Amino acid sequence: MPTVDYLALSDNGFLFDTRNGNTYNLSKTGTFILRSLVEGVAPDAVAARIVEHFDIEAATAEQDAAQFLFRLKDMGLIGGDLGDEVNS
């Protein structure tokens, strides 16, 4: 499981990267996804968790989760290991 302990995420979606001081505002869904990772949910289980909490189709949840995780990786917020898992 990749570690994201360098990310400080508040309940209202404010994200602080402790390694470099960068800050971000996440949407409600983005906060939910990243919170899931922080809590140790495997990346490939995130979509199912979204379906449990939000009233959307599984296919949409999978697409949204994959896109969001790809974006996090692209911005350097999550590491290559996680990206590999996401892309696999």
Which residues bind to another protein, rule: CB under 8 A?
6, 8, 16, 18-21
51-55's contacts with Cβ under 8 Å and 24+ in sequence apart are 54/29
Whether 78 contacts 68, CB under 8 Å: no
Whether 43 contacts 86, CB under 8 Å: yes
Min separation Cβ 6 and another protein, Å: 7
- Choice between 12 and 88, CB closer to another protein: 12
- Choice between 19 and 53, CB closer to another protein: 19
- Choice between 6 and 54, CB closer to another protein: 6
